Structure 1
Amino acid sequence: MRFLYVFFFLCSAYVHAQKPKEVLNWINTAKSENKDFYYEIPFEYRNNEIVIQVRIGGQTYDYIFDTGGYNNITDAIQAKNNFPILTKQTVGSSNKIKKEINIVKVDSLHIGKLIFHDIVALQMNFDESPTIKCTIDGGLIGASIIKNYIWQIDYPNKKIIVTDQISRIVNLKQAVKVPVTFNSRLMPYIEIKINDKKEKMMFDLGSATLFSMTEKIAKKHGIENAITLTGGGTEGGNGVIKEPIYIINSGKVEIKNLLYLNKPIYYTSTNNEPLIGNPIIKDYIVTMNFKDDQIYFLPINESAVNDGWSTFGFTIEYNDGKSKVATLLKDSEAAKAGLQVNDEIVAVDGQKADCLDYCQCKKIYSMLLETKNEITLDVNKNGQTQKITLKKQKIF
């Protein structure tokens, strides 16, 4: 299991002509000329990311909608449009990998009918971030654009409503309203309780895990019984770090009077922010009124019980022409059955494990492992094919 969250922070260690505060002010400024508007924008939930279409330079690109990120463009978009370069800066991603990049001024950016002019963006290269490359051909729509307007994420109907008038959102009377605070980079934070202990967590829709923490914060909640996930790592906009991932039982998580029970909380040694990620949109219609420091959660299914975590305990990736076990949960039924990281998967439920490339396999295998409750693998063990049948296991 790989988890992805992609937000960026400016590092003051490297500056050319501009001071970090001046550059940050550029990036934080994103205003539209649209007034008194209400638009509905379709989105896809692809590779556990919210993907919308954005038009730049007369061409449409797929972008991740990310409350925890900066607006950016790719090297390819910059090569086509040759936007003015304002300065260079060193930036770090969520897993602490740093790179030097250009800060550019984009003359216009369209999200449906919502138009922005002279947007300052980070010029990024996602070549070393395979999940991002499989998901989009553009970049991120980030905090400065999201901060100024009301955005409602309606997962059942796969649409985002954006407006500048909160009165145009009609379904908020039954929703739970939660206050939001922001850091200097306009990233949003909400206060929650984990087993009655207060924590402040970034509300990061660029994160594909429901809950993740820094190692320091995880220790406050007890890591004695943490489960190890081997073979994985953290992926940010600047690349991948292979490292053990640890998982603890959340116990009781309260977001005001909203409740999750016994969910996995992920942490690694490189995590630098506690996060609530975009899987929350599967449980609640989320309305972000960040200009008034508010966020609303409307339950999608009143009878849903957000209790527990079930998994097969492994994931599959396609590399070097073969499908292989990518990650494995220690002491899971998959591990006890003899499955190991890098085992070659010959077939899944009798179908040959064959894909065109990494991206196609990622989509196929993620869907299989999410939707099935029982699975049979043909595994190549030292030249011999071994059948392993597994049922989805409730871990917590």
Structure 2
Amino acid sequence: MKNLKRLLLISLFFISLSCSVTKHQKKGTVLPEKFNYETEFTTIQTVMIIPSKINGISKNFIFDTGAQFSAIHRDSTIGSLINVGGVSERSIKAGSEIVESFKIGSVEFLGTIAVNFDMTGLKEQIPNFGGIIGQPIIEKANWLIDYPNKKLCITNKKLTDNTFKKIKLKSKDGTPYTNISISGTEYNVVIDFGSGFELTIPSGSKLAEKLLNEYDFEDDEQEIYSIGGLQMITQKVGVVPLVKLGDMEFENVSTKISVQDELSIGIGFFKNCIIYIDNQENSYKIKQ
């Protein structure tokens, strides 16, 4: 099967930095001291697009939990250069900057760090594209995402109740990880809301081999965007009948087997859920 439709695949990680990633991520503050802002978002291939203002200029940004830093689209880089890599195993030299003001409605993030580079390939897909919201902004608030109704609340209040289920969460350089279970075996996965697929499995892994033997997968040619721009890849796509996350069950999960380093679940995995990213308790809570 050949599919030339461009697929968003934009998670960022950083190969070299002068000091720890988490130290960079914690730079910056939020105004006002207490906040609770509600808005709506749109999607492109399941990925969340949030209207924002960067230094007073209105732009549309991708919301990406898998991005260790925010990223600003610029035709040419500014600031000190660092190596930036992505899920496609390519890397580039990107600029770096401190964003004086990043505002979503009435919530303003001041002095957060970001990288910058030319994101040709994404800017053609997203009107008035500004870049990617990464962990330096995400970790400074709680995010209640009503995905079915495309509503978002950014707050520093506690918004969940006992109808939400807390999932196990681990963090590495600010990137969230959890465990899923497939056919009784547990696997460590990145929670990557910048991915346009529900479940992505590294080709050549034992899990990929197992699923290819058990279920029907088809060859699929896709033009994707990752670090370094657009590239054509061949992957395998299919459906896994059941994936468990804690005691929650997700049926008929769209799955791709592709060239990348880590197993990941994208925002599409939670397409029928309300998601609460609780950065005060360092947890994710889900309501099905």
Structure 1 and Structure 2 fold alike (TM over 0.5): yes
Q: 1:158 to 1:23 in 2, by over 3 A?
A: closer
**Whole-Å separation in 2 of the counterparts to 1:58 and 1:263:** 40
Q: 2:186 aligns with which of 198, 210, 214?
A: 198
Kindly state the Cα deviation for residue 101 of structure 1 after the two structures are TM-superposed.
Answer: 1.0
Aligned residues: 280
Match of 2:126 in 1: 135
CA displacement, residues 17-51 of structure 1 (integer Å, 9 cap, x when unaligned) = xx532566324534313322211122112343211
1:26 aligns with 2:24: yes
Is structure 2 residue 264 aligned with structure 1 residue 264? no
Q: 1:8–1:91: 8 Å Cα contact kept in structure 2? A: yes
1:48 paired with 2:46, answer yes
Q: 1-side partners of 2:91 and 2:216: how far apart?
A: 29
- Match for 1:147 among 133, 139, 143? 139
Q: Flag the 1:41–1:247 CA change in 2: closer, same or farther, 3 A.
A: same
Report Cα offsets for 1:255-298 as digits up to 9, x if no partner. 11211234232111x21221111113421011111331211111
1:294 matched to 2:283: yes
| Structure-1 residue corresponding to 2:229 | 239
Q: Can you list the C-alpha shifts for 1:113-138, whole angstroms capped at 9, x where unaligned?
A: 111222211102111x25x5312510
Q: Within 5 A, what are the aligned runs for 1:82-121?
A: 85=79, 87-121=80-114
The structure-2 alpha-carbon separation of the partners of 1:31 and 1:281, relative to structure 1 and needing over 3 Å to count, comes to: farther
Identity of aligned residues (%): 20
What are the ranges of 5 or more consecutive residues in structure 2 without an aligned counterpart?
none
Distance 2:42 2:262 in 1: 26
| Contact 1:29-1:144 within 8 A present in 2 as well | yes
Counterpart of 2:81 in 1: which secondary structure? strand
What is the CA–CA distance in structure 2 between the aligned matches of 1:110 and 1:8, rounded to whole Å?
Answer: 21
CA distance in 2, matches of 1:250, 1:181: 24
Residues 1:42 and 1:222: Cα distance change in structure 2 (over 3 Å):
closer
Partner SS for 2:162: coil
CA distance in 2 between counterparts of 1:228 and 1:241 reads 20
Correspondence for 1:36? 34
1:234-383 aligned within 5 A = 234-268=224-258, 270-299=259-288
Deviates more, 1:222-231 or 1:279-288: 222-231
Higher relative contact order (CA 8 A, sep 6+): 2
Task: Give me the whole-angstrom Cα distance separating, in 2, the residues matched to 1:231 and 1:48.
Answer: 19
CA distance in 1, matches of 2:23, 2:149: 35
What is the SS of the residue equivalent to 1:20? Answer: coil
- State how far apart, in whole Å, the 2-side matches of 1:23 and 1:296 are: 25
Give the CA deviation at 1:198.
Answer: 0.5
Q: Which has the larger displacement, 31-40 or 108-117? A: 31-40
Q: SS where residue 283 of structure 1 aligns? A: coil
Aligned to 1:72: 71
Moved more, 259-268 or 53-62: 259-268
The CA RMSD measured in Å over matched residues stands at 2.3
Structure 1 unmatched runs, 5+ = 13-18, 300-396
Give the superposition deviation at 1:213. Answer: 1.3
Aligned position for 2:167 = 178
Displacement after TM superposition at 1:251 (Å): 3.5
Q: Partners in 1 of 2:253 and 2:45 — Cα distance?
A: 20
Question: In the alignment, which residue of structure 1 is the partner of 2:199?
Answer: 211
Name the residue aligned to 2:220. 230
Task: Determine the C-alpha separation between the residues in 2 that align with 1:282 and 1:219.
Answer: 23
Structure 2: distance between partners of 1:143 and 1:217 = 30
Higher helix share: 1
Q: By how many angstroms is 1:234 displaced?
A: 3.7
CA displacement 1:193-231 (0-9 Å, x = unmatched): 111110111111111111111122533634235523233
Distance 1:201 1:148, change over 3 A: same
Whether the aligned pair in 1 keeps the contact of 2:56 and 2:101 (CA below 8 Å) is no
Partners of 1:67 and 1:142 within 8 A in 2: yes
Q: Indicate the residue corresponding to 2:11 in structure 1.
A: 7
**AA partner of residue 190 (structure 2):** M
Of the two, which has the highest radius of gyration? 1
- Name the CA distance, whole Å, in 1 between partners of 2:223 and 2:43: 22
